[in-house]
Structure 1
Amino acid sequence: MTIKVGDRLPAATFKTKTADGVKDITTDEIFKGKKVVLFAVPGAFTPTCTMNHLPGYLENHDAILAKGVDQIAVVAVNDPFVMGAWAQSTGAEGKILFLADGSASFTKAIGLELDLTDAGLGTRSKRYAAIVEDGVVKALNVEEVSGQAVVSAASAILEQL
């Protein structure tokens, strides 16, 4: 079943790459008592994700935080090393929290997995953006076409904040 506005995010543990190595980070650590913009991409380094989706969140970083958001986070079904390299190569390191959902356990738990097996990519995440307050989904924008970043774009989220 797909998560919807008003639902609480399920408990999950992500991996994140830090200067000290790979660390676990839980949904409680990310969302408890905080207002977070969470967006998801089908894959780090993929064209739409790298050239369109992520740059909007970097460009609007300060404006989003000025709306009372504590953290911007991106999740993908990739390993933490890929997510860390993506953060570093895009200049987003330290601005956006990069969450690796390598086995798609969080993505499947919220019902937003995308089967890209025919494209050689296996199970990935649908492209979406959400506003989450204290672990509860307040807004959820899921793209109909994974190669587009329109309703999940930073500009769309900024209008909802």
Structure 2
Amino acid sequence: MTARLDIKANRTLRKWSHRVQVGRVLWALATPLFRFSPRPCWGWRRGLLRCFGAQVGLGVQIHPSVRITMPWNLEIGPEAGIGDRVILYALGRINIGPRTTISQHAHLCAGSHDLALASRPLVKSPITIGADAWVCADAFVGPGVRIGDQAVLGARAVAMKDVPAAHLGVGNPIQLRRLQ
């Protein structure tokens, strides 16, 4: 059951440690160096993310328009691609496997709120996307979701539950079928 919202209690919660708060401020100051870098400067963006604690594999191509909330919660395997205007809302860990593609406008949301408590505290649930997977354009991946190796999440699909390896997930609510 959902508890009645208590905004005052929510505002008094300590959502972030001092270290995380400082990191968020520093990342906000460094973000223009990421966003305004020329498109082919893949190595520059990989290096900048690594400076902020992200684990980024060799050959990763991440576009300058990608929005990343907390890069220290991000792990991207080698040769993965992150398309234009992707949102990586990394309150919890986001792990993206090798050779995986996250297409334009996709949204990976590793955070939510506990609706059972009136104060609505943050819940930081990890997202894991396996190797050789594809999250298609404008798809949404919710907190705590696992997408298996070689799985495909179709365009505009909403994944609030796991997509097994070698499966296609389409629609909202998501429907799963085995890939041939």
Q: TM-score, normalised by structure 2?
A: 0.23
| Structure holding more strand per residue | 1
Which structure has more relative contact order (CA 8 Å, sep 6+)? It is: 1
| Structure holding more helix per residue | 1
Q: TM-score, normalised by structure 1?
A: 0.25
